[in-house]
Structure 1
Amino acid sequence: MTPDPQTLAEAATWHYAVALAVLALMGALGHVSRAVFNILPDRLSDRPMMDLVISDGYSWTDMVFNTEYDEAGYYRLDSLHNLRLAVCWAMLSGLIVLLLVPDASKVTAYWIDWGLAALVDLFWYRVKTFEW
């Protein structure tokens, strides 16, 4: 349950840093899932314009940013270029949402504070109930 955004405190700079770190992890997870769980190849021909028309997995952003594919047309998991693209897209889109959507930064700061408080409570619970 999220409280009323009007009662929440403003997000601090470290909230944005934590949010960007989480978004970077989500981008890396998206990169891995696109490469591993892709059943059909993204590139079906050697011509980019033809792939834009006939392929569901190949889009104009892949053509513009030169996403790397293997010989069979699948998205390359071992490409650092693809990893950087996925992480940067996730971080950039998340930062834009945090900056432009009203109260998104307040709600994000609330969930970050709540998560950290839960981790601290869990740590002290484990310390209190620890047995040799």
Structure 2
Amino acid sequence: MRAAWEAATIQVGVQVPFKAYVKHLGRPFQDFLMLLGLKNTERFTTAYETAAIGSSHHSQPFPGVEQALRDIAATGCRLGVVTSKSVARARTLVESLDVPFAVLRAPGLGRGKPSPDALLLALVECGN
């Protein structure tokens, strides 16, 4: 995230430090761009998305998490991911894992976090 944020701020010419970005983690990207007072959010979003996808290979799960998820799936539980990331960014990360996720829920349908809409939709889609 830091690499993508810094690349986007340089590309677009925005002077908002990464620590300001971190304060809003979890919220939909467009929401916190507005909270940070950024203009031309479409250009910034495109720059961030490109940089985030390009640097996603640096992301690694915490030790044991991938195996734990595989073990849970092996019991018959359907797994899902609910995120504030775009589908493109999230898919890149999810597909790097050897885990059978049944659902990937990203912004676009219903209200974003902190609303429970995305989580409730994912539960329905998983059949839980």
Q: What TM-score does the superposition give when structure 1 sets the normalisation length?
A: 0.24
Between structures 1 and 2, the one with greater strand share = 2
The structure whose RCO (Cα within 8 Å, separation 6+) is larger is 1
Between structures 1 and 2, the one with greater helix share = 1
Q: What TM-score does the superposition give when structure 2 sets the normalisation length?
A: 0.25
